[in-house]
Every structure is written in structure tokens, then in C-alpha cells.
Structure 1
């Protein structure tokens, strides 16, 4: 009976180690997939471009002409974004109009508007999130 307990114990330990090793390698593969950069086709499948939008800025007498590329977390979110174009456009206008001309000057201004718009658009979508926003056209007067 003592030998049987030792054999069962060794088998149980071997099974637990095998399951642990399998879990480790499966998890490692999942992480490797997540870290892989998206291809151009995948980026196109999950992003939308806004129309060229003209709106006043917060500083009197100034206006901006902008267009954005919005990368969404998945294709389901892209479909939702395509159905909510009015809300996306309203979020863009409200975001751009909240800045003054001085705030938007230079690279830091572009980064600021991209981050602010990404945060605002993330509140609009129910099925996913905004991964990034890029300014593709930007003019101020």
C-alpha cells in the first residue's frame, strides 16, 4: 500500500507540472500575439477617418480646419463608429473648439488634441475603446 501511495503521488505531481507547463506556454503565445504590431490591412479594418471639419477655436477670431484618423480596438467598435458619425463629428467639434490658438501651436498642441479627443471618443463608444487618434489634417487661422 505504501508503494501505491508513492506512485499516485508521483503521478499527481507529474500531472500538475505538465498542466502548469502547458498553461505557461499557452499564456506566452497569447502575449506574443498581443505584442505583434498590426499590419496595414488590420489598421485599415479597425480605423475610420473623419471628414474635414472646420470649427471656431476658443480664442476669438480664430478657427481650425481638422481631420483625424481614429484607430478603434476592434472591428465591432468600427461598425459602431460608422453608425455614430454625428456623435463622432460633434465630439471632434467640441474638442477642437475648447482649445485656443496658442494651446494648439506646435507638436505639443497636436499631441494634446489627439489625447483629449481619444478620451472624449472613448466615452461615446459602448462596444470598445479608442486605441489612438492621429491628426491627418490641421490648419489654424
Structure 2
């Protein structure tokens, strides 16, 4: 009789332990966070807005056709940016109208323009902020 009680007690302990391990694994308690801090591309796309293609004249009477994707810091800022898309397009056209083709050439030119847009767009956002502006296509003629 005493042997049965010990066997039942050990079985219960093993079942509780197995249930605990299963819960630990299923609830992701055992998974380490990524140490690099980088988001997956799926996470980036969830907070990114496609501004689309903009075609306009530059200050030196050249013509630019350019497209952008803008990454925000969260869902709320993405939603606001989508509503303010027309204002963002206005900012882009206004900035481009004061530039010459050489201002956009090279890596520094494009990165400088992206940073300018990021700063100007952040000025109009009430919810969150722009993390990065990406030029996705670019043609000057």
C-alpha cells in the first residue's frame, strides 16, 4: 500500500513537471530576445507607408520621378501618416522644387534628402515619429 502511494506521488510530480515545461515552452518564457535589436522585415512592413511615385520639376528645370517608403515607430504613427499622405507628398514636392539635380546625386545627396524629409515629416506628426525614409525609385531627366 505504501508503495502505491509513493508511485502515485512520483507520477503526479512528473505530470506537474511536464505540464510546467510545456507551458514554459508554449508561452515563450524560454526564448531569448534578439540581442541585435533588429526587427524582422515583416515587423518593418507593418509600420511602413508607401508614399508612391512623385513626378515634379526641379529648380534647374530638370524633371525627377521618385518613390518613397516611410517607416514609422508604431501602428498609431503609421495610421496617422497614411491620413497625412497628401501633406507628405506636398512636403516632398516643395523640397524638390528648391533643389537642383546635383543636390540629389550620389549617396550623400540621397541620404541628405531622406534625412530632410524625415525631419519635416516628423514636424507634422502628432502620434509617434518617422524612423527612416527610403527612396525606392529615382529617375532624373
Q: TM-score by structure 2 length?
A: 0.72
Relative to its length, the structure with more helix (as a share) is: 1
Aligned residue for 2:39, secondary structure, equals coil
Give the deviation of 1:65 after TM superposition: 0.6
Name 1:74's counterpart in structure 2: 74
Name 1:45's counterpart in structure 2: 46
Structure 1 residues 37-116: aligned runs within 5 Å: 37-59=38-60, 61-116=61-116
1:74-109: per-residue Cα shift (whole Å, max 9, x none)? Answer: 110000011111111111111222211111111111
Q: Give unpaired runs (5+ residues) of structure 2.
A: 1-32
Give the deviation of 1:124 after TM superposition: 1.4
Aligned residue for 1:139, secondary structure, equals strand
Q: How many residues align?
A: 109
Aligned residue for 1:51, secondary structure, equals strand
Give the deviation of 1:63 after TM superposition: 1.5
Aligned residue for 1:64, secondary structure, equals strand
Q: TM-score by structure 1 length?
A: 0.72
**Contact 2:67–2:135 (Cα < 8 Å) also in 1:** yes
Aligned-residue Cα RMSD (Å) equals 1.6
Following TM superposition, the consecutive aligned residue runs of length 4 or more in structure 1 with deviations greater than 3 angstroms are 32-35
Using the alignment, how far apart are the partners of 1:38 and 1:95 within structure 2?
Answer: 30
